[in-house]
Amino acid sequence: MSPTPDVELRERVRRIPGIERLLPALEGLPPAYLVGGAVRDLLRGADAVDVDIAVEGDARSVARALAERLSAEVREHERFGTATVRAGDLGFDLATTRTEVYDEPGALPRVAAASLDEDLARRDFAINAMAVGLTGDDLGHLYDPCGGLSDLNDGVVRVLHDRSFLDDPTRLLRAVRYEVRLGFRMNSATESLARAAVVDGALRTVSGARVRDELLDLLGESQAPAGVRRMHDLGLDLALHPALDSDPDLVASASLGAAAIGADPALAALAALCAAAPAELDLWLADLHLPAAQRDSVARAARVGPRLARELRAGEHQPSQLRSLLGREPVLSLALAMAMGAPSEPILRWVTELRSVRLEISGDDLLAAGVPEGPAVGRALDETLSRKLDGLVSGRDEELETALAVAREAAR
């Protein structure tokens, strides 16, 4: 298909923040194209979020030339010969147009330089397989060899060949993400291929880290609950782990709870998926290779969320009791507790007000007053803070008096 000049598209490209500096800098360099999600989003009339540029030439030398012309910083990535360029508000990724060969299903592909059309044909779905020319007279020309524009108009997610989900089963999660984000649907051939790939155990060939990236992207969507419902419909949840519980309502409340208290909604949704069988899912979670702190808080939230919800539902709690119950919990546990029916008032009160309350005195004040070094110091401060939270102690003098009394009591 020959490229179609498109005045409107050219104008939309020109409205990408920072692009007015990039376009003149591309002059005299190998042909460059805007590719991937940015093209899809410009055609939908939405803002292009990530600017991905493909060049028919060596991406890293183009990146270096651009960095010099734009006084920008460039970071080169070894594995796929790509580079990231950043100059103030302008940031973009550059890649050489390439083919990808999958030696084994699920593994990362071998790449080789290729034409733009071949580069578009290696992509996940037709709606993501369009390009727009950025160089000279080509500015604004749409390259659409796979029929992406018509899919975009029809609301269709469609793979480009029959082995697509087997070559890269993370595309199963990507397909669901685009369905729920855009309100689209796989066409029936694509859905049949997806279901067949799930039944074939395709997801078992993918590393946990790659599943993690796509799963968290899906769970981070505002439509994550619909995504979880669709995962279940396609058998994706079961394929990831039979103990995952795809309860869209729980995922919805976990994400909302997380947003209300400053926790990560995608991680809260992941904890919600694990909450029905946290012990069984421990190894699966570990295999996702989340950063250790995130993995620990997801696992903990899944484990303690139900208990916290029960205890908070059981009756009113003094501030000091809230501290004993919630003080050592990551915010993710609190988000999950809310999702599982804990009253939100005590949790919000803890997060917004109580957890930042501190004593005016410190251990040094107790040592200076003659309390010997040892565990009694910590215990006295702890007890004093509890009393302060409950409104029984106020001001520095009362704090010191209380802490000294507690320390003396402990020494007896």
CA angle 84, 87, 89 (to 5 degrees): 105
Distance CA 288, CA 295 (A): 9
Is 128 a binding residue for ligand ATP by CB under 6 A? The answer is: yes
Binding mask 39-68 for ligand ATP (x = CB under 6 A): ----------xx-x----------------
Between 96 and 253, whose beta carbon lies closer to ligand ATP? Answer: 96
Q: CB of 363: closest distance to ligand ATP in angstroms?
A: 50
CA atoms of 80 and 82, how far apart (whole Å): 5
Residue nearer to ligand ATP on the CB measure, 123 or 158: 123
Q: How remote is the C-alpha of 159 from its chain's centroid?
A: 24
User: How far apart (Å, rounded) are the C-alpha atoms in residues 93 and 397?
Assistant: 60
Least Å from the CB of residue 291 to ligand ATP? 20
The residue at minimum Cβ distance from ligand ATP is 37
Q: Find the shortest distance in angstroms from Cβ 269 to ligand ATP.
A: 17
Answer yes or no: are the C-beta atoms of 274 and 298 closer than 8 Å.
yes
Output phi, psi for 93, to 5 deg.
-105, 140
148 binds ligand ATP (CB under 6 A): no
Given the rule CB under 6 A, which of 123-131, 268-276, 289-297, 325-333 is the region that contacts ligand ATP? Answer: 123-131
Asked if residue 37 binds ligand ATP (CB under 6 A), the reply is yes
**Cβ closest to ligand ATP, residue 234 vs residue 403:** 234
Q: How far apart are CA 279 and CA 282, in angstroms?
A: 5
124 touches ligand ATP by CB under 6 A: yes
Rounded to whole angstroms, the Cα distance separating 386 from 321 reads: 8
Cα radius of gyration rounded to whole Å, the chain: 28
- Output the smallest distance, CB 374 to ligand ATP, in A: 55
- Cβ closest to ligand ATP, residue 211 vs residue 322: 211
Whether residue 230 contacts residue 179, with contact meaning beta carbons closer than 8 Å, is answered with yes
Among residues 56, 119, 151, 168, the one that binds ligand ATP under rule CB under 6 A: 168
Nearest partner of 239 among 293, 190, 202, judged by Cα: 202
The verdict on 223 binding ligand ATP (CB under 6 A) reads no
Apex 238 CA angle, 235 and 239, nearest 5: 85
The distance of closest approach from Cβ of residue 50 to ligand ATP in the complex, given in angstroms and rounded to an integer, is 4
Question: For ligand ATP, which residue of 16, 25, 33, 36 counts as binding (CB under 6 A)?
Answer: 36
d(CA 33, CA 31): 7
- Do residues 359 and 386 touch, judged by C-beta distance below 8 A? no
Q: Which is nearer to ligand ATP, 93 or 399 (CB)?
A: 93
Q: How many angstroms separate the CA atoms of 83 and 79, rounded?
A: 10
Q: Enumerate residues 258-277 that contact ligand ATP by CB under 6 A.
A: none
Site string for ligand ATP, 171-200 (x = CB under 6 A): x-----------------------------
Which range binds ligand ATP by CB under 6 A, 66-74, 121-129, 236-244, 324-332? 121-129
Alpha carbon distance 374, 362 (integer Å):
14
Give min distance, CB of 240 to ligand ATP, in A: 17
SS3 call for 92: strand
- Give the total of residues touching ligand ATP (CB under 6 A): 11
Applying CB under 6 A, does 109 fall inside the site for ligand ATP?
A: no
Map tokens 């109580």 to a residue.
Answer: 354
Q: Could you say whether residue 123 binds ligand ATP (CB under 6 A)?
A: yes
Question: Nearer Cβ to ligand ATP, position 49 or 292?
Answer: 49
Q: How many whole angstroms separate alpha carbon 233 and alpha carbon 256?
A: 23
Interface positions with ligand ATP (CB under 6 A): 36-37, 49-50, 52, 123-124, 128, 168, 170-171
